[in-house]
Structure 1
Amino acid sequence: MIRVLFVCLGNICRSPMAEAVMRDMVKKEHLEDKIEVDSAATSSWHIGEPPHRGTQDKLREYGISTIDMQGRQLQKSDFEKFAYIIGMDESNIRNIRTILGNPNSPKIFRFLDLTAHRKDVPDPYYTGDFQETYELVQEGCRALLAKIKQELL
């Protein structure tokens, strides 16, 4: 089982969007028995809360479910559990490394570094642009799934 953890600041916008999109892709590829997906926050601000309304609305627009998703905080034990710990921006990466105490692990990387963009995923909590975030998350998830499928061969 390959486990993937998406991480952002609050775990209500970007990382749950990536979790839901990746789960949807994994399901469509019939890989649920090989790939597990989760998300978490570097902060404790939204623990137990559902994804942001904008995230829910955008995902619903594309037929992607957020049922039973709720915010949680990154835990030190996540380092052992997950093969990939993916931050949405450079600030997330710094915080992940601090929380996990493993600053140089190759399993920790910035999401869009798998794409031609190689930039941060903008936070729609501040930008209000959930469509831009969705498009970047789609692209990042496609690249990550392709990478994981190569490992599974």
Structure 2
Amino acid sequence: MIRVLFVCLGNICRSPMAEAIFRHKVNEAGLSASFQIDSAGTGNWHVGKPPHKGTLTILQENDIPSGGLKARQVVKEDVHRFDYMIGMDTENVGNLRAIAGATGKAEISRLLDYVPAATIVDVPDPYFTGNFDEVYDLISEGCERLLAYICEKEGLTDQG
């Protein structure tokens, strides 16, 4: 089982969007049995709440299921449970590395690190900017590239 955790600040915009998109891509590839996918935030402001309306709207517009998404905060145990911890921006990655210290087993990186042609390194936070369309496009491409990376690294083949 390959465990992937997507992380942003509050876990109501970017990381639940990435969780839903990545899960959808994994399902389309026929690899659902090989993955556990989750998301969390570094902050606790929205714990227990559903994703932001903008996130739910853009997922619905793109026929991406969003059921079951609920905000939670990253906990220390996550760095031992997950193989990949994917931050949406540099600050998220810094926070994850601080939580992990020297003990975590997870590979920690930014989502856009997997997009060689990306002109930016951080997925902007639509909670502040309202740019859910741009964020969806960035996350979708990042998830596509991340899945290809993991499949190659873990020796998985597309079953879809």
TM range (shorter): over 0.9
Task: Tell which deviates more after alignment, 25-34 or 113-122.
Answer: 113-122
CA–CA distance in 2 between the matches of 1:104 and 1:92?
16
- Output the amino acid matched with 2:11: N
- Output the amino acid matched with 1:122: P
SS at match of 1:85: strand
The aligned counterpart of 1:112 is 112
Deviation at 1:100, TM superposition (A): 2.6
Tell me the C-alpha RMSD between the 2 structures.
1.6
CA–CA distance in 2 between the matches of 1:104 and 1:3?
13
Q: Which runs of 5+ in 2 are unaligned?
A: none
- 8 Å CA contact retained: 1:75, 1:100: no
CA deviation profile, 1:63-116 (whole Å, cap 9, x unmatched): 111111100000100111111001100111111122233499770111101112
How many percent of aligned residue pairs carry the same amino acid? Answer: 52
- 8 Å CA contact retained: 1:84, 1:108: yes
- 8 Å CA contact retained: 2:82, 2:105: no
CA–CA distance in 1 between the matches of 2:106 and 2:23?
23
- 8 Å CA contact retained: 2:83, 2:106: no
CA–CA distance in 2 between the matches of 1:64 and 1:125?
20
Aligned counterpart in structure 1 of residue 136 of structure 2, from 134, 137, 151? 134
Indicate whether 1:49 and 2:52 are aligned. no
The aligned counterpart of 1:121 is 123
Task: Tell which deviates more after alignment, 103-112 or 64-73.
Answer: 103-112
Deviation at 1:52, TM superposition (A): 0.3
Q: Which runs of 5+ in 1 are unaligned?
A: none
Task: Tell which deviates more after alignment, 95-104 or 4-13.
Answer: 95-104
- 8 Å CA contact retained: 2:8, 2:42: yes
Indicate whether 1:152 and 2:137 are aligned. no
The aligned counterpart of 2:13 is 13
CA distance change for structure 1 residues 104 and 75 in 2, over 3 Å: closer, same or farther?
Answer: closer
How many residue pairs match? The answer is: 153
- 8 Å CA contact retained: 1:97, 1:103: no
CA–CA distance in 1 between the matches of 2:2 and 2:105?
16
Deviation at 1:21, TM superposition (A): 0.1
